[in-house]
């Protein structure tokens, strides 16, 4: 990163920065082997403090640059945009630097503490944000007390812990309003966490599925606790390593109570494993889940014994011989059998899964049709109404598919 062309420095700040650059040049190639561990410890502490003091100076300069519209002569849209372009800093980081520099100008004690190297830049940012987040109706005096309290705590806690203290600072300096305000802030955080909830899974085609998720922290705690318990070595786990937690997550899924699963399409949201009678009896023919995932015969036989997994056994010509005895009502068993056979909505061109479908009588019940797997089919919530609509005709096709068209 090259410095922009300048005239000989006249301002003391620029002169000091250039002298500091020269001092660093003098030790840039200095070998470290001769430094004792005591000197190394002192150097690390002093370098950290020096970084904080330099950060304070940089933030002040960034705020001044914004006020004087540095970069405007070159057509930059802002001083932050100019800084990002000149130093190769990201626009986001340059904008955040300028924003914090301007904010510190309104919090002189915080700026002074950073200038002395008593706090770090990330601590200063947390304090400023916590104080600025306080409601205006608490008054200037209470805000000053909150700021001073957090400055005192910064001598003992890092920025992460300081942020937590900042959420509860009113409970310390103004208990009469602190509890209500803390509740308001926490509720806002919880709403934000719920709004940002995301979950994605990707099958890599090689037997492994990868995922990413974002969930509210209090929900994450509910997940982390049992996973840590399952991963604990004393429980037979491999500890809280990524692999150990992955195995714990697999076990957690297997342990989920089947009776608590939600229903969709008239069935519990339960995995169905389909296999031939030969496979069930020890054969080598692969089985398949109702999601389309192929599994080994050994895994299929293990899953057939698990609670919450429905085994469907097929005979010749893939006819359903038996649906696992877990189902209490015959209608559910029939829907499972149709889901295995049809794979989803039977309308041509429709890819709706079985969970989004209704069981339909191909021979109308009102005209004497029976409730059976052979004369039944799955239709999604978009196509099922058409089957009963007087303005549409349903046409049957080979392979069990149907199509619809308007009556003339």
Angle (CA) 106-64-7 rounded to 5° is 155
Do 113 and 234 fall into the same domain?
no
* Same-domain check for residues 388 and 361: yes
Q: Which helix or strand (DSSP H or E) is residue 142 part of?
A: helix 140-153
Same domain, 365 and 408: yes
What is the rounded average pLDDT of the residues 187-208?
A: 81
Whether residue 4 is contained in a domain is answered as: no
Last residue of a domain, one of 169, 193, 217: 193
DSSP 362: S
- Residue 243 and residue 321 share a domain: no
Q: DSSP of 213-236, one letter per residue?
A: EE--HHHHHHHHHHHHHHH-GGGT
Last residue of a domain, one of 193, 210, 237: 193
pLDDT, mean of residues 347-359: 82
What is the span of the domain harbouring residue 329? Answer: 262-335
| Token pair for 82 | 């100019």
Lowest mean pLDDT among 31-45, 100-114, 152-166, 245-259: 245-259
Residues 308 and 289 in one domain: yes
- Look up residue 33 and give its two tokens: 């082997």
Helix or strand (DSSP H, E) at 277: helix 277-280
Q: Does some domain include residue 28?
A: no
Would 72 be classed as within a structural domain?
A: yes
Q: Is the pLDDT of residue 44 over 90?
A: yes
Does any domain span residue 71? yes
In a domain, 210, yes or no: no
Long-range contacts of 200-209 (CB under 8 A, 24+ apart): 203/293
- Within-domain flag for 16: no
64 — pLDDT class (breaks 50, 70, 90): very high
Q: Do 243 and 298 share a domain, yes or no?
A: no
- Other Cβ atoms within 10 Å of 329 Cβ, number: 9
Residue 165 tokens read as 């203290």
Helices 121-132 & 91-104 angle (0-180, nearest 10): 70
Q: Is 132 or 317 the better-scoring residue by pLDDT?
A: 132
Helix (H) or strand (E) holding 359: strand 357-361
Mark which of 287, 318, 335 sits at the end of a domain.
Answer: 335
Q: How far apart are the first and last CA of the chain?
A: 75
Residue 153 has pLDDT above 90, yes or no: yes
Instruction: Return the pLDDT at 144.
Output: 93
How far is 99 from 94, CA to CA, in rounded Å?
Answer: 9
CA 359 to the chain's CA centroid? 36
Place of tokens 């000149």: 86
Q: Does residue 145 share a domain with residue 86?
A: yes
171 and 51 co-located in one domain: yes
Please give the Cα distance from 322 to 300 (Å, whole number): 15
Torsional class of 236: left (φ above 0), alpha (ψ -120 to 50), beta (otherwise):
left
Do 359 and 267 share a structural domain?
no
Beta bridge partners of residue 377, listed in sequence order: 360
User: Mean pLDDT lowest for which of 20-24, 44-48, 109-113, 357-361?
Assistant: 357-361
> What average pLDDT does this structure show over 375-391?
82
Q: Are 331 and 242 in contact (CB under 8 A)?
A: no
Total tally of structural domains belonging to the chain: 4
Please indicate, yes or no, whether residues 150 and 286 belong to a single structural domain of this protein: no
pTM listed for this prediction: 0.49
Q: Measured between alpha carbons, how far is residue 270 from residues 51, 255, 309, 327 in Å?
A: 57, 13, 6, 11
Residue 300 has pLDDT above 90, yes or no: no
- Would residue 23 count as lying in a domain? no
The yes-or-no verdict on residue 94 having pLDDT over 50 is yes
Residue located via tokens 């389909």 = 274
Lowest-confidence region among 157-161, 321-325, 404-408: 321-325
Q: Same domain for 185 and 248?
A: no
Q: What local confidence, expressed as pLDDT, does residue 259 receive? A: 57
Q: How many residues does the chain have?
A: 408
What pLDDT sits at residue 272?
64
Mean pLDDT of the chain: 79
Q: What are phi and psi of 379, to 5 degrees?
A: -130, 135
Residue 251 domain-assigned (yes or no): yes
Residues 233 and 157 in one domain: no
């Amino acid at each position: 990163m090259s410095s922009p062309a300048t005239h000989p420095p006249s301002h003391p700040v620029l002169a000091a920065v250039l002298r500091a650059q020269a001092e660093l040049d003098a030790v840039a190639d200095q070998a470290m082997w001769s430094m004792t561990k005591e000197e190394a410890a002192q150097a690390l502490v002093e370098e950290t403090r020096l970084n904080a003091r330099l950060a304070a100076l940089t933030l002040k300069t960034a705020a001044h640059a914004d006020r004087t519209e540095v970069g405007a002569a070159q057509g930059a849209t802002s001083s932050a945009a100019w800084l990002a372009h000149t130093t190769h800093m990201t626009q986001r980081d340059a904008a955040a630097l300028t924003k914090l520099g301007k904010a510190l100008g309104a919090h002189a004690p915080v700026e002074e503490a950073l200038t002395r190297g008593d706090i770090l830049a990330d601590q200063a940012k947390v304090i400023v944000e916590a104080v600025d987040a306080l409601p205006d109706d608490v008054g200037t005096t209470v805000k000053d007390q909150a700021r001073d309290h957090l400055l005192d705590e910064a001598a003992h806690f890092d920025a992460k812990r300081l942020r937590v203290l900042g959420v509860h600072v009113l409970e310390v300096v103004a208990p009469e309003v602190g509890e209500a305000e803390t509740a308001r802030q926490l509720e806002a955080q919880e709403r934000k966490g719920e709004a940002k909830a995301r979950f994605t899974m990707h099958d890599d085609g090689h037997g492994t599925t990868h995922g990413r998720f974002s969930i509210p922290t209090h929900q994450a705690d509910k997940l982390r606790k049992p996973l840590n318990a399952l991963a604990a070595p004393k429980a037979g786990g491999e500890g809280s390593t990524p692999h150990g937690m992955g195995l714990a997550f697999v076990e957690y899924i297997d342990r989920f109570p089947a009776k608590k699963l939600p229903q969709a399409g008239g069935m519990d949201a339960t995995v169905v494993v389909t296999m031939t009678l030969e496979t069930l009896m020890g054969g080598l023919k692969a089985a398949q889940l109702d999601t389309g995932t192929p599994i080994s015969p050994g895994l299929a036989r293990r899953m057939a014994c698990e609670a919450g997994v429905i085994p469907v056994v097929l005979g010749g010509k893939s006819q359903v011989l038996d649906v696992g005895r877990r189902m209490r009502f015959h209608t559910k068993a029939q829907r499972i059998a149709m889901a295995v056979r049809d794979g989803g909505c039977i309308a041509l061109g429709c890819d709706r899964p079985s969970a989004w479908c209704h069981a339909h009588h191909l021979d109308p019940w009102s005209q004497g049709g029976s409730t059976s797997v052979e004369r039944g089919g799955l239709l999604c919530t978009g196509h099922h109404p058409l089957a009963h609509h007087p303005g549409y005709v349903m046409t049957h096709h080979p392979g069990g598919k149907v199509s619809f068209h308007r009556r003339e």
